[in-house]
Amino acid sequence: MSEGAPKKDEKPRKFQAIRGTRDLLPPETALWNRVERTAHEVFGTFGFGEIRPPIFEPTELFARAVGGETDIVSKEMYTFSNPTSLAAMVPEGRTEGTLAEMLPEAEMISLRPEATASVCRAYIEHNMQQLPQPVKLYYMGPMFRRERPQKGRYRQFYQIGAEVLGGSDAPAIDAEVIEMVMTFFDRLELQGVQLDINSIGHSADNCRRGYVEKLKAALENVKDKLGPDSQRRIETNPLRVLDSKLESEQGSIATLPHIADHLCEACATHYSAVKHQLEMRGVIYRENWRLVRGLDYYMRTTFEITAQGLGSQNAVCGGGRYDGLVELLGGPPTKGIGFAIGEDRLILSLQESGKAPAQQGRDVYIAWMGERAHATAIRAAKDLRKAGFSVELPPVEQKFGKALGQADKLGAKYALILGDNEVSEGLWTLKTLADGSQEKYTEADLLDRLRKGKALSS
Ligand code: ATP
Ligand code: MG
């Protein structure tokens, strides 16, 4: 007996998905597939190719890229040691202790909390700077963050994202990336879409650093009106105070200096050109001076998109420019901009606004009786499936009444009735379940009839 098996008379444990994770089930998965198919299509029309990086990477990659002081890296990552060669690494004679104690040399690895770091790592690893620039990549898949689970916030969640790496930092690139997300949302008929943009300058003295000093000074002046979190952030990360949703702090925050008034000339010019480029593309935006992003790598353009029906977790997309990131990871100086869409929230919003497709029933349920009919039913199922119909073929014989009831429960459009009479006459009975009408067809006519019905309904 294996170690995990229950002892005799012991009730086996009833397992449940781990807190913050969940099963995605039909019919909802049909909507997930539609969303992902649309992403492949739309991103393809903008010249993006798909990258599928691994789900875990060295912890250090995320620490360096996302930033050691960010919430993501300091408290949200799933990190463990990677015992590459167990035998070689366990100190001699050591038999007890946790893995981390036994394998002090093992590299620490983390489940990815986001994918931009991986895409940049891949760009460097595969010398993509030698390809025609810029390189345009998109990805989709699960991300992992140890956050407090709630509506629209999970520990395993899904992102669809894209990155433009290399080439220039032309404002038209920022605008086109934003246009692409908006086109995607538009194609999905996402409701209540609101795009907020901002520029957070770059880290030089006469730009963001200068602004942060002014912001700190202004925050000191209103410190006693702020809550403990914001008070602490005045020292650790003053920009994040602007993110605060605390009602009691809003009055004080409104009096703080705006970064747009403190950008260096190059950043100010870049920002106004991005806005102009968005207008040329007919993309409607709102300037939001309080939009700062929680990841260290952002500079200049930042943006966030919200949608309806999501309560306080209403951000469905966050993105921005990150020109220094590839270099920070040991690559050549490289421009970069990208975004990540929260797919779970996107799906929630589509469901809330009734944009989710109804459950997809079967096209045809084959009700058969008798050995000869079974052989014919198997052949009919094969032909119908080949023609693209969804077919349910019961594995064992059923009385016709029971079969029709079953067809109804499965939401089938038609029941194909095959008994010995039908088979010997060569005339098959097709019952339309919505109105109960019944007609007889030859095998060839039946396929035609179904094809026409399908063309009409789609
Ligand atoms: P938030 O402020 O909502 O926590 P964030 O700034 O942490 O978002 P990003 O790291 O920019 O988010 O990720 C981009 C998008 O991924 C978010 O806009 C959101 O839609 C989604 N997202 C982030 N964290 C989660 C999560 N734990 N569960 C579900 N979706 C998430
Ligand atoms: Mg977050």
Spell out the alpha helix ranges (H) of 46-104.
Answer: 59-66, 71, 86-89, 99-102
- Containing 336, the helix (H) or strand (E) segment is strand 336-342
**pLDDT at site 452:** 82
Give per-residue pLDDT as tens, 260-297: 999 999 999 999 999 999 999 999 999 999 998 867 78
Give per-residue pLDDT as tens, 395-430: 999 999 999 999 999 999 999 999 999 999 999 999
Once rounded to an integer, what is the mean pLDDT over residues 51-60? 97
3-state secondary structure of 297: coil
Once rounded to an integer, what is the mean pLDDT over residues 15-41? 96
Once rounded to an integer, what is the mean pLDDT over residues 64-89? 83
**pLDDT at site 105:** 59
Once rounded to an integer, what is the mean pLDDT over residues 375-391? 95
Say which residues have a Cβ less than 8 Å from residue 456's Cβ, sequence separation at least 6. Answer: none
**pLDDT at site 69:** 80
3-state secondary structure of 128: helix
Q: What is the CA radius of gyration of the chain?
A: 29
Give per-residue pLDDT as tens, 116-128: 999 999 999 999 9
Is the Cβ–Cβ distance between 210 and 200 less than 8 Å? no
Cβ-based neighbour number of residue 418 at 10 Å: 23
Q: Residue 22: name the closest of 348, 357, 355, 307 by CA.
A: 348
Cα 390 to the center of its chain, rounded Å: 28
How do strand 156-165 and strand 364-368 relate by DSSP bridges?
A: unpaired
Q: Can you tell me the distance from the alpha carbon of 177 to that of 341, in angstroms, rounded to the nearest whole number?
A: 12
Question: Which of 242-251, 321-330, 363-372 has the lowest average pLDDT?
Answer: 242-251
How do strand 414-418 and strand 364-368 relate by DSSP bridges?
A: parallel
Chain position carrying tokens 């620039």: 133
Q: Residue 134: name the closest of 49, 39, 38 by CA.
A: 49
**pLDDT at site 106:** 67
Q: Which residues line ligand 1 (CB under 6 A)?
A: 114, 145, 147, 152-154, 157, 159, 294, 313, 315-318, 340, 342, 344-345
Rounded to the nearest angstrom, the distance between the alpha carbon of 102 and the centre of ligand 2 is: 33
Tokens coding 358: 């109804």
Q: With 80 as the cut, is the pLDDT of residue 236 above it? A: yes
Residue nearest to atom 26 of ligand 1 (CA): 153
Q: Can you tell me the distance from the alpha carbon of 365 to that of 369, in angstroms, rounded to the nearest whole number?
A: 13
Once rounded to an integer, what is the mean pLDDT over residues 445-456? 81
Comparing 53 with 359, which gets the higher pLDDT? 53
**pLDDT at site 454:** 72
* pLDDT band, residue 1 (cuts 50/70/90): very low
Proportion of the chain above pLDDT 90, given as a percent: 79
Q: Can you tell me the distance from the alpha carbon of 162 to that of 151, in angstroms, rounded to the nearest whole number?
A: 25
Is the Cβ–Cβ distance between 279 and 167 less than 8 Å? no
Give how far Cα 348 sits from Cα of 24, 85, 231, 238, 316, Å: 12, 43, 34, 32, 10
Chain position carrying tokens 């990841």: 295
Once rounded to an integer, what is the mean pLDDT over residues 330-350? 97
Give per-residue pLDDT as tens, 189-235: 999 999 999 999 998 878 988 999 999 999 999 999 999 999 999 99
Testing ligand 1's pocket by substitution, the residue of 153, 196, 346 carrying the most ligand atoms inside 8 A of its CB is 153
